[in-house]
Amino acid sequence: MTIAPVRVEAAVPTEPEPVSRPSKGRRGLVMTLVLAVTAIFWISPLALLVITAVRPLADFIGNGPLSWPDEFTWSNFKDAWGIGNFATTYRNSAFLALMKVPLGVAISAMLGFALAKLRMKFRRTVMFTVFLGLTIPIYITIVPVFIMMRGAGATDSLFGLIGPYLAFGIPFEVLVLQSFFRQIPDEIIEAAKVDGAGDWRIFFTIVLPLSTPALVTVAILDAVATWNEFLFALILLNSDANKTIPVGLLNFQGQFANNNTGLAAGILIAVVPILIAYMLLQRWIVGGLTAGATKG
């Protein structure tokens, strides 16, 4: 999904105050039950995927997709891992995220700082132009980007993806970061200036440390978006050695069309890192996405 731009105020979600209204006990229990059933239904595609991935193909065909497996096996994962070329696509996706995310957050933070705290000419114009990027679909740029990369000899190279990935990440990152920087009291910055600190020193020693929650949230959301990006990777990368997870998964899907259990294992291999990361970091994701909602 394209990450949605919302302003971040704090990365830690505040748990709701329990609303005190009468007759809550029974209602709460019923509501919990209804929500639990809905949640099971909601997550059932993923649950089915897991069950299918750990059963032999014969068992799947014999008993049908909705049955409980008679036997369990890990061999689907072994097959899928090899045929899906996941060792390579994992490495490529990880490389891209590691290159792109720190760089993107760094340059966006710099621009955000200039927009939020420095007296810059044409500030409104720059801001409008950058935020307008949120509305631009990737596909309007693919033909010129392809020509540009071919001219630079950067097609079929992971490095060719970094520029476009950075550019499409900037509007969201700047939007979030500048709104966070804005909340840093001017007095702190003025005081530092009185002490003789220049803009760079203020940026590195005051603004960035005070904005750690926003930086972490932006970095996580940006990493998810980078990991999931599909269209640029599809048009710019040709050889198997350079494919990323989404493109590799699509190829894999074609090859495993008749091997349901292998396909399920492959899809799981592709999504497990992002699922684990989400579970570990969800505090930051949820908090970052919602903190702006109340003030809107």
User: CB of 214: closest distance to other proteins in angstroms?
Assistant: 14
Burial of 239 (0-12, 13-18, 19+ CB in 10 A): exposed
User: CB of 215: closest distance to other proteins in angstroms?
Assistant: 15
Q: Which residue's CB is nearer to other proteins, number 78 or number 84?
A: 84
Q: How far apart are CA 181 and CA 7, in angstroms?
A: 11
Identify whether the C-beta of residue 6 lies closer than 8 Å to the C-beta of residue 295. no
User: CB of 65: closest distance to other proteins in angstroms?
Assistant: 5
User: CB of 58: closest distance to other proteins in angstroms?
Assistant: 13
User: CB of 195: closest distance to other proteins in angstroms?
Assistant: 6
Rounded alpha-carbon distances, angstroms, from residue 58 to 62, 63, 79, 220, 293: 6, 8, 15, 40, 50
Q: Which helix (H) or strand (E) holds 23?
A: none
Identify whether the C-beta of residue 218 lies closer than 8 Å to the C-beta of residue 67. no
Q: What are phi and psi of 198, to 5 degrees?
A: -85, 175
